Chains A and B, each alone.
Chain A
Amino acid sequence: MNSAEAARSPSSDSDEEEEEYSDSSGTGSSVISWISWFCSLPGHEFFAEVPDDFVEDDFNLTGLPSNVSYYNEALDLILDLEPEDTTHAPQMTVVESSAELLYGLIHARYILTKQGLQAMGDKYQNDLFGHCPRVLCGGCSVLPCGRSDQPGIDTVKMLCPRCGDLYHPKEPKYQNIDGAFFGTTFANMLFLNYPDLVPPVITRPPRASTISRRSPRDGDDSETEDPAYDDNDFLDDDEDDEYDDDQVAPLSNYRIYTPKIFGFRVSERSRVGPRMRWLRWKEGISTEGPEWGNGLVQRDGNRGGGGGTNSQTVEEDGRVDWKERSVQ
């Protein structure tokens, strides 16, 4: 045990040492390039490795010199080149931070290229970016997304393709990454290029499986059951909160939360009634239900699959009369 640890720790140390060594004096052929070292740092898991030839192409760097101080030194550091003039070289830490900024900006450009999109798409499929915190997205994977293309304005946010909303990254270590290192365009571009990555909103969830999954509970606790939202197939990922394991593949359906008190929906007319349902509407979700205020649902007692729209009558004037509903 000890020996194993001992064997491991010096090696990792020596990597960094060698790295620093190569940084400062430029031994050139270090074991690990600055870029891979930078991307392997804890908290930098979101970054894709930009290939050297992309960085070396001056065309790709147009306009960046004006954004980054000590641009040349930083670029040399990124490319593991020996600094040309060591006599009045700026402090290493300054160059380091410039290099990080420069790399981030190059990265933002790189991930918009075909190659970059591919690399990030692979990372996305491997769930490296985490999951949407919204429960009714069913643990959809998210992508990093900036809110501004200018560095230093806002940190990176996570974009969920299902609800199309931005969230703060869950882990604190990602909360200091500049959003401009990913840019406003990238996430949307990726989903546009790989539409298959966006889990569809299915109007009718698979019924059979959900019913069998329901069995552990009593089928007739009625109102409470009819649950606080029309979630049914959501049961299958009981441990969806620990997404560590790779079980997210079949996502449960996208749903909209319905606030309920003792099993009864909170009326829209209540002062604190639901007002934001429109925000979560997606193509494929029916707007005929009473949740949208323009329908009148007659519940069939055992609404297992929870399509929610299967038996309903719409009033002529498109409004819900709650008294009438309770009578029925």
Chain B
Amino acid sequence: MEDQMSAGSSESAESTAYWIEWFQSLKGNEFYCDVDEDYILDRFNLTGLNTEVQHYALAFDMITDALEEDLDDDMRAEVEKSARHLYGLIHARFILTARGLTKMQEKFRHAEFGRCPRVLCDNQPVLPVGLWDVAGVKCVKLYCPRCEDVYNPISRRHLAIDGAHFGTTFPHLLLQAYPNLMPAKTPKRYVPKIFGFKVHHIANEHRKQDQLKEQMQQRLHQAQVNE
């Protein structure tokens, strides 16, 4: 089904949608931003990708809507797959550029990546992150800047997205570039209680956590970092 759609779209490329547009309109691909065409066309940005992707040349042509050869269905499906993968890898590089960061922070502001499942984070919007920069290891995860932790995406569709299409660096670089996007930290935490009483060993753990927090604040104070 999808392959047919893709075939249709890229065969009649000039007339209707561009491949990238079509790719982004697919369900489950909401996390991707559209990579600028001139970024893709600059071969320098693609250094090394040819070894990572099968049918590199064909896949590249497909992404840039320049595929002229007639492929049989099997081959087209394969190239289609490669094209997606190639696009993902280019995407991972693109979102680290100034232009890419701008586009992604726009998406972040609209909470297009979802919200933190942690109750005390009050529906903080999250950012996509990979746990590996190597393709095919892990699916994309979500990084919550408020609790600074990573979560599994809720939607099943997003579980199919390779984490390497976003990379390990992206959310942290984004926050470095736009520090005002960093939400205020919440000192709240869940205190388990049994009939209103704290649980002993957990209360101990919390004390230790508080100690670590104080130590950190002291270090920051010494280093004269403004909170």
Residues of A at the B interface (CB closer than 8 Å) are 133-136, 147, 157, 159, 164-168, 170, 184-185, 187-189, 192, 217-218, 221, 224-225, 227-229, 231, 234-235, 238, 240-242, 257, 259-263, 266, 268-272, 274-283, 287, 292-294, 319
Contact = CB atoms under 8 A, between A and B. Distances in A.
Interface stretch (B5-13, B22-30, B69-77, B174-182): B174-182
Nearest to A271: B179
Nearest to A235: B137
A219 to B, nearest CB: 11
B184 to A, nearest CB: 10
A260 B169 contact: yes
Nearest to A320: B219
B150 interface: yes
Contacts of B171: 259
A269 B199 CA distance: 34
Interface string B114-143: 000111100000000111111001110101
A227 B179 contact: no
B216 to A, nearest CB: 6
Given A134-B150, A165-B190, A261-B176, A224 B133 contact: yes
Interface stretch (B38-46, B78-86, B205-213): B205-213
A266 B225 contact: no
A294 B212 CA distance: 10
A272 B169 contact: no
Contact of B154 (A133, A157, A164, A293): A133
Contact of A278 (B169, B212, B225): B212
21 contacts: A133-B151, A133-B154, A136-B149, A147-B119, A167-B118, A170-B154, A184-B193, A185-B195, A217-B134, A217-B137, A221-B133, A231-B131, A241-B153, A260-B168, A268-B219, A272-B172, A275-B216, A277-B216, A278-B213, A279-B147, A287-B212
Nearest to B206: A164
A135 B130 CA distance: 11
Contact of A279 (B182, B189, B194): B189
B205 A283 contact: yes
Contact of B137 (A147, A238, A259): A238
A266 B150 CA distance: 15
Given A227-B168, A272-B175, 13 more contacts: A135-B131, A147-B119, A159-B192, A167-B117, A225-B132, A228-B132, A241-B152, A241-B153, A257-B150, A261-B173, A282-B205, A292-B212, A294-B219
B222 interface: yes
